[in-house]
Structure 1
């Protein structure tokens, strides 16, 4: 068989891996390439494989860097099955529709400038009308159930512990009289998450294709992060202003709500009004309630029925723009959870405009802020930021919480790989160039195996 990595080779977006056997041709993931404009232009390039010869698509999870080009794939003619975990039907509907809306808006903004210059107008990469045809092709499966997806490939999905519906993909591929076991990690969850069950794959394998997103660093412990969150809220209560929490809609928001419910009395959260000010995060949170049986036993109770609102009686959802604008006149006593997690867009920017210059307010940053983002500039100590061309002073107290990542860190990636009994051949994907090289060196020092870094379009033979 032949394997080609068409995306997330020495980068962290655009995941797409092609597997070709004597009888079958499939891809695992079809993610959006994100980042600088030159990178994103690659989303418009032709796919490096024939859509007519493609037998099946497997989706590890719904994050846009793994799923975001599916509307392009289907729009160009793919009509075969898209195999994924059953929880991803709801998440894909939410995330792909949001991605399509952003594609439409970006084209609209670009065309406003292009029309003034007399340039040819751009079409959005895809629109919201392109999402339902993708959803119609979904073949939904539970974990641990073998599914024959082609005449020589059987697929098994295993919980990856990353976000709701995330999966490691096990492929059992018949070749002559032998069966090869290929493992594609997707994104590997951070062990100890309060909601997601930890990853649970093991045994022997012939090849493991493994993500390396945080391959050069370790996360601090969940316990330390909980203490940091409590301390930040205690200080904010003494200062008397509002608390802003930029948050990712899938995973991070639900972790925060879990801890708010668990420590409601201990952290004096009754003294606050808590607002979830993100239409996407609200939809995702409601979706989490549909799949409560998938979570750790200690957190299942929170997501079933109306328990979340019973445990957090002062939690208010504000999906409408008008409701969000009303928060601009609230100057104290509000905890506002809003997107986006890196502060480059979304409603959090409006809340920064109305709060970050006020010394009695607090900003709790509970996620990694990549270089070049507004969030990174604030965390690095910027005294002033620009919002819509206006210079705004950073006077609010900034707290950073380091351990709530949905991705495994370096030592946990190593532990994940060591669950395989035979130290199988390892191919590294989904990591920035310097990160993945550091992780390669780290793994080489700690395991006795053939380890390579995938190159874009390189043929890997098994």
Structure 2
């Protein structure tokens, strides 16, 4: 930011602030406008000033105390514990003098915040420190703890990074916005390697950067002139953490990108969990990982979290708003407002339109939306999923029958999303006697992913959030759930033991512990392999689901090839994706309905049939793009 711009901004803030309040310094940190003051207590006295400033300046505003205006840390610690009700159960207080903040971790953060932020304002008024509140996860999560610890260690460097980003976001646009282009770098007429480039005369935004399940080496077309060099990209937006959208985000940093990533807070944590596991699996399978763990840490350090519904400047000519997509924890429908009211584009990411046990249904209500890039995973004419009640009844029946045969039901499941959905189904079914009470073993990352869900209950469905936060009834802590943490010996013991249910990654049977369960349980007819999620073309899961019983274990210990004699079943209705009807309703009931829809993230038939149906039913322009096409709007 130039001195003139900084000076002008300082003057404007001073005109908006009452004369008795001091404004020491004003600067942008990422999308936020930060006001430093020697009168933080007086700012806290006026509960309306922050909202008034945000509305007037049309920016997210943070007030920070200037150095030397706070109580000592020991005095502040004692006073904060006196102000905050004991029922909040404060776990720790950490002070950061360089930014004048105190991080308060508590079991019940709502009591630290207080009604309409009253308790937080009282803290600032009494001690001069600016409080930031985080929730203690109900289940211990090493991922959440590690991310928080890492970001704490990098707080100084991160502040410098945010200052640089703020200058870029709030610079004057060089050209008038008179066009918008979208280039497809992957994910077209296929499922996987999601990646798109949104560009204006001033800005390049990369949306997602994933791999393709079951197709090693097929990566987004990042080398094409529209995207290269990667240093020319201004920002990355990540819709959700599944690897077909996030796996190659750290690769960007390997090849020179050093800008921001915008996503929700739980998506940031899940991205860290899944990409580190992605590296681990590659190494175990003898493949050369595409990047190193240092690049994962770089991605986390440069992530700027966005809450649902917050309008956020991410470039001089683009504002981003993320909304619940109903797909997995933190998944987002991303709305881009381009120019000064020039054009609006929605990227659906992956969506589930109807509410599930885990999440509220996807949001499709926007101020404006001229174009949409829309997933089509279940876009084929006959892609209708069984309703949830019937689906759950089918799962109950299969598990009961397997239990009666003395067998074990093993379910390949995505660690994020479907596993937690199934845990809720099984916990309730056992509590109500619909299936016998038996152990449910969680293998792979499922337990850790579940812990991350409980760390962010505000992103869960309303009733489930209430159970976790206010009713002290966390279904994920039911006693029948047990983690498989003893490696091969524990798996062999479980496989030779009493009837049980096993939830195991990977969900498409492309590697991970599910391969051990195939080897241990597959040859025995009393056991059941139950598919409840999407199986992409080219994956072992799809081949087994289609009737292939002779399978390769990929050079694992023991025989390279295995004949499955177990019962093989598939139950629809548990996918995190909307089915054909849900996709049509998401587009048809969208307010306002877009003029143009690009159907992506589906095979040839899915994208073609959905594209045709939306055109005929709603009279909108639709396209079934190929990779490496560019569309200009308007």
1:309–1:454 distance in 2 versus 1, CA, 3 Å: closer
1:439 is aligned to 610
- Work out the CA distance in 2 between the residues paired with 1:460 and 1:190: 27
Shift of 1:330: 2.7
SS of 1:79's equivalent? Answer: coil
Q: TM-score, normalised by structure 1?
A: 0.89
Instruction: Name the CA distance, whole Å, in 2 between partners of 1:252 and 1:31.
Output: 19
Distance 2:459 2:208 in 1: 22
Which of 379, 396, 402 matches 1:215? 379
Note closer, same or farther for the CA distance 1:398–1:43 as it changes in structure 2 (3 Å cut): farther
| 1:459–1:321 CA distance, 2 compared to 1 (3 A) | same
Offset, 1:403: 1.0
Q: Which moved more, 1:314-323 or 1:285-294?
A: 314-323
Alignment partner, residue 130 of structure 1: 295
- String of CA shifts for 1:71-123, please: whole Å, max 9, x gaps: 111111111111111111210110110112233345xx25xxxxxxxxxxxx5
Equivalence for 1:294: 459
Aligned to 1:308: 475
Out of 578, 598, 601, the residue aligned to residue 408 of structure 1 is 578
1:179 aligns with 2:349: no
Matched, 1:10 2:189: yes
SS at match of 2:230: coil
Partner SS, residue 507 of structure 2: coil
- In the other structure, the counterpart of 1:348 is 514
Q: Secondary structure at the match of 2:342?
A: strand
Match of 1:399 among 563, 569, 582: 569
Provide the residue aligned with 2:524 in structure 1: 358
Q: Please tell me the root mean square deviation across aligned C-alpha atoms, in Å.
A: 2.4
- Per the TM alignment, residue 34 of structure 1 is displaced from its structure 2 partner at its CA by 4.1
Asked if 1 retains the 8 angstrom alpha-carbon contact of 2:260 and 2:303, the reply is yes
- Structure 1 partner of 2:396: 230
1:40-439 matches, within 5 Å, as 40=219, 48-106=227-285, 109=286, 124-174=289-339, 178-203=341-366, 204-216=368-380, 217-267=383-433, 271-278=437-444, 280-301=445-466, 303-304=468-469, 307-308=474-475, 310=477, 312-321=478-487, 324-328=490-494, 330-387=496-553, 388=556, 389-418=559-588, 419-439=590-610
Q: Which TM-score applies when normalising by structure 2? A: 0.66
3-state SS of 2:322 partner: strand
- Contact 1:272 1:334 survives alignment (8 Å): yes
Shift of 1:446: 1.0
Check 1:52–1:346 CA distance in 2 against 1; reply closer, same or farther (3 A cut).
closer
- Once the two structures are TM-superposed, the CA of residue 210 in structure 1 deviates from its matched residue by 1.0
Shift of 1:199: 0.6
Please report how far the alpha carbon of residue 341 of structure 1 lies from its aligned counterpart in structure 2 after TM superposition.
Answer: 1.5
**Aligned partners of 1:52 and 1:441: how far apart in 2?**
38
| Deviation of the 1:17 alpha carbon | 1.5
If asked which structure has higher relative contact order (CA below 8 Å, sep 6+), I would say: 1
2: CA distance, partners of 1:191 / 1:86? 23
User: Would you say the 8 A contact 1:328–1:351 is kept in 2?
Assistant: no
Describe the SS at the equivalent of 2:608. helix
For 2:4, the equivalent position in structure 1 comes to none
Q: Shift of the alpha carbon at 1:43?
A: 7.8
Closer, same or farther: CA 320–129 of 1 in aligned 2, 3 Å: farther
2: CA distance, partners of 1:45 / 1:345:
31
Aligned with 2:530: secondary structure?
strand
Q: Is the contact made by 2:345 and 2:371 (CA closer than 8 Å) also made in structure 1?
A: yes
Q: Which runs of 5+ in 1 are unaligned?
A: 111-122
**Does the 8 A contact of 2:333 with 2:363 survive in 1?**
no
Q: Which has the larger radius of gyration?
A: 2
Question: Bigger CA drift: 319-328 or 25-34?
Answer: 319-328
Alignment partners' CA distance in 1, 2:224 and 2:283 = 18
Task: Tell me how far 1:160 sits from its aligned partner.
Answer: 0.6
